[in-house]
Homo-oligomer: A and B are copies of this chain.
Amino acid sequence: MLDWISTAIRKDPSLQGGLRPLEILLYPGMWALIFHRIAHPLFLLKIPFIPRLLSQIARILTGIEIHPGAKIGKRFFIDHGYGVVIGETTEIGDDVMIYHDVTLGALGWWKANGKAKRHPTIGDKVVIGAGAKILGPVRVGDGAKIGVAAVVIRDVPAKAVVAGSLGKLLKKKTSRKK
């Protein structure tokens, strides 16, 4: 976790100056990750119930739900974090950053197929914007950027950029006669 903390303090503009780096202790993403670093090895040992219980405690405290089965690389950073859902067979590389409300999920129970991988594989140095939803056993290549609120259900090449749709400015009504 130490390189995680030093990375966050170096990069996050709201942690700059004076005692502000201490605020890292309040980051929900850090606590969710600490719980996961305990739950995941227990899950791999096939210990029942406890890993999922840890995951749910973390969820109540942080609003971030990481299934204990998910494989997560180094220096994974979740900013804000409410509403993040990371499914059981997700794999995440190193130096990935995601924002709140991101889902790394499955396509739905009705498409599940036994033990097959149901969730995405995320490469190194990927950034995923708030509200983006990546669904199914797709692959997001190294260094890709997934824009805010983008929905992804197909593979994304390395270094690619995926953009969600922007809101449209409706034409202002000119003054109508009454």
Cβ contacts under 8 Å, A97 to chain B:
109
- Stoichiometry (number of copies): 3
A 131-161 to B, binary, CB cutoff 8 A, 1 in contact else 0: 1110100000000001111111100110111
In angstroms, Cα B163 to Cα A4, docked, is 38
Q: Which of B118, B132, B146, B161 contacts A13 (CB 8 A)?
A: B118
Cβ contacts under 8 Å, A14 to chain B:
67, 69, 87-88
Q: Which of B20, B22, B163 contacts A167 (CB 8 A)?
A: B163
Cβ contacts under 8 Å, A2 to chain B:
none
Cβ contacts under 8 Å, A26 to chain B:
52-53, 55-56
Q: Which A2-54 residues have C-beta < 8 A from chain B?
A: 11-14, 18-20, 22-23, 26, 28, 46, 48-49, 52-53
Q: Is the CB of B151 within 8 A of A151?
A: no
Q: Which residues of A contact B (CB under 8 A)?
A: 11-14, 18-20, 22-23, 26, 28, 46, 48-49, 52-53, 55-56, 59-61, 63, 65, 67, 69, 80, 82-83, 85, 87-88, 97, 99-101, 103, 105-106, 108-110, 112, 114, 118, 127, 129-133, 135, 146-153, 156-157, 159-170, 172
